[in-house]
Amino acid sequence: MSDTSPTTPNPEPFRIPDGDLDDLASTLAKTMAEVRQHGALLDRLGSDPVPVASQHTDDVPEAEAADAAQGEGPASVFILALGGEAYAAELTALSDWVNYLFLPVYGREISSSRPWCARWDEHPEAVARLHALWLAWQQLTDTEAGLSGPSTWHRDHLDQALVHLRAPDGPFAACTTSPTRPNHRVLVTPAPEQSGATE
């Protein structure tokens, strides 16, 4: 007995215009960056709280010590307070935000009055300022921030961060001042004063 079911024709192949491919690639890159950011945020939220040191609970009854331990979360979400794998994961998520959102939109041209460094992640001050800017961006671009959240982020966070990051005497002062002459050098910071130094 022959099969009498209707056969479905093969769909016609179609081509997406190159301009649309660029838009799709850009949208995909932004979506991937957001997924990484959400993953880092979930990792941060799901991490175990910092254990309370036993010296702090010696004089506290057990029930109060347990309540105190449950109420404490991570000491800080700021990148400079993190170490090891937590720092590396946060830096990776920050790099995605810097590379796929911050630089394409707010990067501006490199000049002697606005230096930049492609190796910004090796400059502790730049990492700290960009991370603080990213944390504020996450909070103020959330729907709970309201309609004026993005404007507040620009006014209170972005504008100030750009002034300091891209200043001629900022963290990139010894780095690239012309796109045709890339340069990278981390400036030496003042050494801490030695206590108890002999005369």
User: 148-189, pLDDT tens digit by residue?
Assistant: 999 999 999 999 999 999 999 999 999 988 888 888 888 888
- Could you list the residue range(s) of the whole structural domain that residue 128 is in? 21-165
Per-residue confidence (pLDDT) for residue 28, from 0 to 100: 66
Query: Are residues 184 and 119 in contact, defined by beta-carbon separation less than 8 angstroms?
Result: yes
Residue 181 placed within a domain: no
Mean pLDDT for the chain overall: 77
Residue 4 placed within a domain: no
- In the chain, the number of structural domains is 1
Residue 182 placed within a domain: no
Question: Is 120 buried (19+), middle (13-18) or exposed (0-12) by CB count in 10 A?
Answer: buried
Per-residue confidence (pLDDT) for residue 196, from 0 to 100: 59
Residue 43 placed within a domain: yes
Residue 171 placed within a domain: no
Residue 80 placed within a domain: yes
Residue 7 placed within a domain: no
Between residues 143 and 24, the one the model is more confident about:
143
Residue 191 placed within a domain: no
In 49-74, which positions are buried (b, 16+ CB within 10 angstroms) versus exposed (e)? eeebeeeeeeeeeeeebeeeeeeeee
What are the two backbone dihedrals, phi and then psi, of residue 111, each rounded to the nearest 5 degrees?
Answer: -150, 175
